[in-house]
Structure 1
């Protein structure tokens, strides 16, 4: 059972410059969302990051809000938080797949995002995963974003050209 397994958690990154994190939450299940946000905010604070929280109507709007902020604002990274509980229709599959795909595509374009959208079978699973004193998936999503920010800062300015480059009169 996965609940009984041990998992390795990377140590939190350290930053020498301020970090601004935007937490985008869909509070459809308000109590669960509040716990996810609490975990994410505590993780951000543990790294000395400043965080701001905005709400969107549902999980499908999380990638759109992050894309807007990435284009129009100056955040270093993002945390998407929400909860999708399986229902009686295929809408669950659409919301889970499309919200995750949207976040992944933004990440592949260079945005530093932690995905904390819970996709669960029932409310009990969501409660356990959202609990900051339990599985703390909100905190885990914030940690993921912070790690990506640390990597992005490390690699900033280390751009390399594509193709061949002349070095010392020879082609590399």
Structure 2
């Protein structure tokens, strides 16, 4: 079992100004989700941060909710929490891959995101990973977001928005209006 393997954990980052983190959770498996949120909240509070929790219908909606928040709010970072348990169909693969891909793309665009979406074979595996007294993957996802926020603060100011920037009208850029059809 992976929990018995030794591994290194980075020291908790310290902040001169408190962080504000959105925890987005898909509570499909409520008992698992509650443990994940408890772990994330404890880690954020231990770092002196503030949090807000929102719920979305499922893991596929987590990237969308975080993307909306990234464009329309002032959070420093985000924690995505949920659990996908393998079923009898390939839907499991779609949900696991697409939710992770969505979060990765948002991260590559500059959002500080900790991915705490568990992808497991059964409820026992989920519980072992979610339980705050166990592997505490919710706390680990919050720690990842905190570390990314610390790097972002180290390297520069916060950036507004995420996603595509609309192309500028060449006439506005030039400022002359040259070539503009005036007929």
Instruction: Give TM-score, length-normalised by structure 1.
Output: 0.90
Q: Post-superposition shift, 1:156?
A: 0.3
Q: Post-superposition shift, 1:148?
A: 0.1
Cα RMSD of the aligned pairs, angstroms, is: 0.7
8 Å contact from structure 2 (residues 60, 99) kept in 1: yes
For structure 2, list consecutive stretches of 5 or more residues without a partner in the other structure.
158-183
- Partner-residue secondary structure (3-state), 2:24: strand
- Partner-residue secondary structure (3-state), 1:89: coil
- Which of the pair has more CA radius of gyration? 2
Q: Distance in 1 between matches of 2:76 and 2:110?
A: 11
8 Å contact from structure 2 (residues 21, 79) kept in 1: yes
8 Å contact from structure 2 (residues 3, 135) kept in 1: no
Q: Post-superposition shift, 1:72?
A: 0.2
Q: Post-superposition shift, 1:4?
A: 1.9
Where does 1:1-172 land on structure 2 (aligned, <5 Å)?
A: 1-156=1-156
8 Å contact from structure 2 (residues 27, 82) kept in 1: yes
Matched residue count: 157
Q: Distance in 2 between matches of 1:19 and 1:136?
A: 21
Q: Post-superposition shift, 1:18?
A: 1.6
Q: Post-superposition shift, 1:147?
A: 0.2
8 Å contact from structure 2 (residues 19, 50) kept in 1: yes
- Partner-residue secondary structure (3-state), 2:132: coil
Instruction: Give TM-score, length-normalised by structure 2.
Output: 0.85
